[in-house]
Amino acid sequence: MGISLEPRPLPLAEDKTGLYRIAGTRVTLDSVLHAFKNGATTEEIALQFPPLELSDLYAVIGFYLKNKKAVDAYLSENEKAAKALQQKIQKKFPPAGIRERLLKKRQSA
């Protein structure tokens, strides 16, 4: 009896916003790799994200290690976009004085 060596597709899917997620879940590639880069083992990442299968995590981390330059560029672009969005939101809704504004709005209601 032999072992089937059929290649398995990479468990990543791109959503409509351009983010890569672990296929069949809402967990982003960014989240998994952030944990991995901060020293979490694959088993620890699986505990942090219960919907993920250990085999999928190993496949994704293996893909990252083989394509580090391209994936790091993708992660860097996502980080820049997130910072720009955060600045846009904070400009529109400044966090300073939020408690006072909420209390004032509550009192006037």
pLDDT tens column, 78-96: 999 999 999 999 888 887 8
Domain ranges of the chain: 12-108
13: DSSP letter: E
Yes or no: say if 32 and 62 are a contact pair by the CB < 8 Å rule: no
Would you state the pLDDT for residue 41? 97
Indicate the CATH number of 12-108 among 3.50.30.50, 3.30.230.10, 3.10.28.10, 1.10.10.10: 1.10.10.10
Would you state the pLDDT for residue 46? 97
More confident residue, 103 or 53: 53
Would you state the pLDDT for residue 95? 77
What residues pair up with 13 in beta bridges, in sequence order? 21
Report the pLDDT averaged over residues 54-69. 97
4-20 residue pLDDT tens: 888 889 999 999 999 99
What residues pair up with 20 in beta bridges, in sequence order? 14
Instruction: Return the exposure string of 12-38: e unless at least 16 CB atoms fall within 10 Å of the residue's CB, then b.
Output: beeeeeeebbbeebebbbbbbbebbee
Distance CA 54, CA 92 (A): 41
Q: What percent of the chain has pLDDT over 90?
A: 73
